[in-house]
Amino acid sequence: MHLPTALSTREIPLTPSADEARAWAEEELRKGIYNDDPTLLERVLEWLRGLWEQITGLEGTLGPVLVPVLVLVAVGVVVLVALLLGGPVRRRRSRTSGGTSAAVLDGDDRTSADLRDAAEAAHEAGREALAVLERYRAIVRSLDERAILTDRAGRTAHEAAVDGGARLPSVADDLIAASHLFDDVAYGDVEPTGEQYLWLRSVDGQVSRTRPERRARAGAKAVVSS
């Protein structure tokens, strides 16, 4: 969409119709970075429709010069709203495509038993987001306590899942899925359900019952397979 940067004093000012102005906005909002939250965008479009009607209804009283100015202001508002919506979408995409994962236990000295109690209390209170976070922390803390992981500051949820899965290959996939749930909740992308918490609790039980694979055995298998 290209808008004129200046108007000659001899040119007739651009006066788009209501349909043209609405088409501009809908074209902008159909772009990929704005499509992650359709419910919110529907509300924005509804607001824009009302705005176009108000602006075009003023043409008889304001004249043909001020109406296009108001239209351009409205389009600027649309672009601003779209950029504000696009920021969180781009951050979410960059995180899920490979990079950022939340730290799990920085500054938290609670035992796995303490964390499980906190998770259960949050679940019983209906605070499923907190319950999920505390239960995953309990899983990671239990791996520390069993010496499957070494206690290290700054370890992220994804790193804990990868390192833990290397020693517990039978539950590696569940650990990765659990770390994704932790990150989605920690970053506010997901509001977890009680069922998701119960699944995570079952993963905790499976991890606790799984015996670690010895490092020497894993190395021997690698040599044999090669």
**What does residue 187 show for φ and ψ, rounded to 5 degrees?**
-90, 0
Question: Residue 112 has which token pair?
Answer: 């796995």
Residue 134 and residue 66 share a domain: no
Residue 194 lies in a domain: yes
Residue ranges making up the domain that contains 133: 112-216
Residue 66 lies in a domain: yes
Domain boundary residue among 70, 96, 122? 96
> What DSSP state is assigned to residue 215?
H
* Residue 220, pLDDT score: 43
Residue 134: name the closest of 111, 156, 153 by CA. 111
Residue 51 lies in a domain: yes
> What DSSP state is assigned to residue 187?
T
List Cα–Cα distances, 129 to 200, 203, 212, in angstroms: 12, 17, 29
Residue 152 lies in a domain: yes
Residue 193 and residue 142 share a domain: yes
Residue 140 and residue 116 share a domain: yes
* Residue 225, pLDDT score: 44
Query: How far is residue 102's CA from residue 116's CA, in Å, rounded to a whole number?
Result: 19
Are 142 and 164 in contact by the 8 Å Cβ rule? The answer is no
The domain tally of the chain equals 2
* Residue 89, pLDDT score: 46
Spell out the per-residue pLDDT of the chain, length 226, in tens. 444 444 444 444 455 566 666 666 666 555 544 444 555 666 777 777 776 677 666 655 655 555 566 666 666 666 666 555 555 444 444 454 445 788 998 888 999 999 999 999 999 999 999 999 999 999 999 999 999 998 788 899 999 999 999 999 999 999 999 999 999 999 988 899 999 999 999 999 999 999 998 764 444 444 444 4
* Residue 194, pLDDT score: 96
Residue 222 lies in a domain: no
Residue 80 and residue 119 share a domain: no
* Residue 75, pLDDT score: 66
Residue 122 and residue 76 share a domain: no
List Cα–Cα distances, 170 to 8, 106, 137, 165, 226, in angstroms: 73, 27, 20, 8, 22
Are 133 and 192 in contact by the 8 Å Cβ rule? The answer is no
Domain boundary residue among 96, 128, 150? 96
